[in-house]
């Protein structure tokens, strides 16, 4: 069978991962990146297409009559026209839970940065501040213990559960807000408003839907403590960026750590770019080598299962 891979460059850094496992599954054409207007042309007569962010629209599907399978190098599938794919008899499969450990690790990198201020102290030491200290220990920058702090987790899928468990291991008080009632949840469940009001750390792990779009807005931010921080590693569209920037600049909350934005790559005029106490990483939480290797393995297994007539991780 013919397989088209449309944006392999989103999976590899300097060739650290090879597409060879995919090439074992069929006659494979691998493209580094594909502009949306070239998607149909590059899929051509292929029966399967694999992509990360390239839009597979109804128009693309109509132009590719041989297409029977769409595989995603991602958990999210908002770039795929699912109704059009279903109508055309095309199976769509995503890769769930491949990045749980990596994203949870990134969340706690942020939390520890906030609590221990390692970057700030390193800068002061290298600027000679410790050398000039009259005492053996130089600690003018406030730090805090995580034990006893309240961690509010919005979304209780695999990542949210892992973040909650790590927080509990640090001795944090964990609150959970989720749209579905989890079975045997060991943590206190509460409304989004209560989660925001009580949080020292408010972290988001929910999908981008009509209900979650813009949920981090002036109203919610106004309920947070001035000493609290906000973390978003879910989807950029969950946050009203202008309203978060205003809350940061006026000291309404203490800080924000973001790995995702509403437009990616970041727009030069993103209101959060120069916002006070705002740390932004370039959608990198999912990207450790081990995580990407796991993702490739899942994508291959999804395609292999579909070829055998027993698809897994279907989204339609």
Write out the catalytic residue numbers: 235, 264, 283
Identify which of 24, 12, 20 has the alpha carbon closest to the alpha carbon of residue 304. 24
Q: Measured on CA atoms in the order 284, 53, 22, 69, is the torsion positive or negative?
A: positive
Between the alpha carbon of residue 300 and those of residues 23, 57, 72, 291, the distances in Å are 10, 23, 10, 14
3-state DSSP helix/strand/coil % of the chain, to nearest 5: 35, 15, 50
Helix locations, 70-175, DSSP H? 82-87, 100-116, 118-126, 158-169
Identify which of 294, 273, 293, 292 has the alpha carbon closest to the alpha carbon of residue 284. 292
ω into 110 cis (within 30 of 0): no
Residue 77 CA to residue 54 CA, distance in Å, equals 10
Residue 73 CA to residue 274 CA, distance in Å, equals 32
């Amino acid at each position: 069978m013919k397989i088209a891979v449309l944006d392999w460059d989103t999976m590899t850094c300097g060739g650290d991962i090879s597409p060879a496992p995919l090439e074992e599954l069929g006659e494979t054409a691998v493209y580094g990146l594909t502009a949306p207007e070239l998607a149909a042309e590059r899929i051509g007569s292929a029966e399967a297409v694999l992509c990360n962010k390239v839009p597979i629209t109804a128009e693309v599907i109509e132009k590719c009559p041989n297409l029977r399978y769409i595989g995603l190098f991602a958990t999210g599938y908002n770039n795929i026209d699912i109704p059009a794919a279903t109508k055309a008899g095309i199976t769509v499969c995503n890769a769930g839970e491949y990045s749980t450990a990596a994203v949870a690790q990134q969340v706690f990198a942020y939390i520890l940065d906030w609590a221990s201020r390692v970057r700030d102290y390193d800068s002061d030491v290298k600027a000679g501040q410790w050398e000039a200290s009259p005492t053996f220990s130089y600690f003018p920058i406030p730090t805090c213990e995580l034990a006893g702090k309240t961690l509010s987790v919005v979304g209780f899928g695999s990542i949210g559960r892992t973040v909650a468990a790590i927080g509990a291991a640090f001795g944090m008080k964990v609150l959970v807000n989720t749209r579905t009632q989890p079975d045997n949840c060991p943590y206190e469940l509460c409304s989004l408003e209560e989660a925001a009001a009580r949080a020292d750390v408010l972290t988001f792990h929910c999908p981008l839907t009509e209900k979650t779009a813009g949920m981090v807005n002036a109203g919610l931010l106004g309920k947070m403590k001035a000493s609290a921080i906000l973390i978003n590693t879910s989807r950029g569209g969950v946050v009203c960026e202008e309203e978060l920037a205003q809350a940061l600049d006026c000291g309404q909350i203490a800080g924000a750590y973001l790995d995702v934005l509403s437009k990616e790559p970041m727009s030069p005029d993103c209101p959060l770019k120069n916002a006070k106490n705002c740390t932004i990483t370039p959608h990198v939480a999912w990207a450790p080598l081990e995580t990407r290797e796991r993702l490739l393995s899942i994508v291959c297994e999804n395609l292999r299962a579909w070829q055998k007539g027993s698809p897994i991780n279907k989204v339609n």
